[in-house]
Structure 1
Amino acid sequence: MEGGKSALLVVDMVRGYFDPQFSYAPLEKEDAARVTRGVQSLLQSFRARNLPVIYTQNYGRRTAWGPVDKKNPFLRWQEENRKKVAGAGFTRKTSLNTEGSPYAEVHDAVGPREGEIVVHKPRYDSFYSTHLEVILKGLGTENLFLCGVNTNNCVLATAYGAFCRDYRVFLVEDACATWNGPELHRAAVSEVAASLGWVTACAEVEAHLAPEAPAKG
């Protein structure tokens, strides 16, 4: 890999997917545990080197005209017709995923530290209608490591967004999962490898990064 400054983007690691108190949109238990461990490992690696960690949250905002996320025709159609999410046994309920709801909070096990940036995004792509590109440019980021959920939705859309802005895209496969099941997870990983960037694993990330920053005395 060429040089350049790296950043970690933690995509939508929210309680609605991981917290057992919720039953609306949980990942499979094995996937949830695997991804949580993977993201924890990545956080440790990036923080030890004083490299930027950025989080995203995908939720709707209520306005005078109703919830913003209900404006999307496909999501509205899915919910109104009670269509089950592909690969999952539940229907979409956008009303639960709104600003300020526990569902939308970052999962405590991988939560941000003081000073780490949390970006609200209204759609799958973390660059769409957000300040993410401005943030990354300000940080001098060239290499963007992606982890989180859902692999074939928000993670993949963000990988496309990063590719189109000429970042080096690294998908950390074992720190990603989807509620749509393993087949669509694998398809998204294959798409990244074929067209967008590099697929790597938590155990390999250390080799991509600069040595750890010296301890502050």
Structure 2
Amino acid sequence: MNFGVDEVRPAVVAIDLHRGHLDPTVATMPLPAEQSEAVIAANRRFLDNCRAADIPVVHLLTLYRSVEEIRTNPFWRTRAEDPSATRKNVLKHNLWGLPGTQVIPELLDERDWVVNTKRRYDCFIGSDLEFTLKNNGINTLLITGVNTNSCVLATTTAACCRDFAAVVVEECVDTMDGPEAHAAALTCVRAAFGWVMSGDEAIAAVTGRGGMR
């Protein structure tokens, strides 16, 4: 597989696989329960197989110190004022100390890296993600997580603009905004920013030795 790099040096970038999206008992911006279960199961399988292949896993975790850090964003402020918006709870989402800020336990391994300074859809902005990747020689990102049409799309776009090869792992991403938004985001990725593959295909492509168990 030609990713346009001289030597593929991959890492997983797992975006917001936390209880704030995926645990219906505490989630402030939840995926529907059935979708949450599917995302957790797919990511668990994919991440386990990446670790077995010595591909590092980086968890990106949204975490705000205060409501003011959220409401500085003009559009988000309007979502909080619209009771019909899927993101109407944005000003309550993943504030410091809330249980939603915890990575789903079954998706976190002691070998993983955690970047918990994510405060916008683009995981690179205001975080040390790029520093972490470049100082570990990473040039190819296998991107998973929530939501396909916001954080996943924004981060894939930013990765492309920073000259990383970006691969979105199709069964490991989803959105609370519905299937049309999910499909449209993947179409945008394929057209302009990177590759969309299954977990099997992604592991085979970056390792050259088969897929998932």
Pair in the same fold by TM > 0.5: yes
Secondary structure of residue in 2 paired with 1:44? helix
Contact 1:8 1:52 in 2 (8 A): yes
Deviation string, structure 1 residues 100-124 (Cα, Å, up to 9, x no partner)? 2111211112124245233321100
Structure 1 residues 114 and 99: CA distance shift in structure 2, 3 A: farther
**Residue 38 (structure 1) shift:** 1.5
**Residue 91 (structure 1) shift:** 2.4
Q: TM-score, normalised by structure 2?
A: 0.89
1:128 to 109, 125, 129: 125
Aligned to 1:74: 75
Cα distance in 1 for residues equivalent to 2:15 and 2:99: 17
Secondary structure of residue in 2 paired with 1:91? coil
Contact 2:61 2:103 in 1 (8 A): yes
Aligned to 1:140: 137
Establish whether residue 149 from structure 1 lines up as the match of residue 153 from structure 2: no
**Residue 22 (structure 1) shift:** 2.4
Contact 2:29 2:90 in 1 (8 A): no
- Written as runs of structure 1 = structure 2, the 5 A alignment for 1:90-101 is 91-101=88-98
**Residue 23 (structure 1) shift:** 5.4
Count matched residues: 205
Establish whether residue 179 from structure 1 lines up as the match of residue 203 from structure 2: no
Aligned to 2:164: 167
**Residue 83 (structure 1) shift:** 4.4
Q: TM-score, normalised by structure 1?
A: 0.87
Structure 2: runs of 5+ lacking an equivalent: none
Structure 1 residues 104 and 113: CA distance shift in structure 2, 3 A: same
Cα distance in 2 for residues equivalent to 1:75 and 1:104: 19
Secondary structure of residue in 2 paired with 1:169? strand
Cα distance in 2 for residues equivalent to 1:118 and 1:81: 31
Cα distance in 2 for residues equivalent to 1:41 and 1:199: 18
Cα distance in 2 for residues equivalent to 1:170 and 1:189: 11
Larger radius of gyration: 1
Aligned to 1:210: 207
Deviation string, structure 1 residues 144-175 (Cα, Å, up to 9, x no partner)? 01000000000000001100011111001110
**Residue 195 (structure 1) shift:** 0.4
Q: Greater CA deviation, 18-27 or 186-195?
A: 18-27
Secondary structure of residue in 1 paired with 2:204? helix
Contact 2:63 2:94 in 1 (8 A): yes
Secondary structure of residue in 2 paired with 1:37? helix
Deviation string, structure 1 residues 13-54 (Cα, Å, up to 9, x no partner)? 110221131253221223212211211122112211222110
Cα distance in 2 for residues equivalent to 1:115 and 1:147: 14
Cα distance in 1 for residues equivalent to 2:61 and 2:81: 24
Structure 1: runs of 5+ lacking an equivalent: 213-217
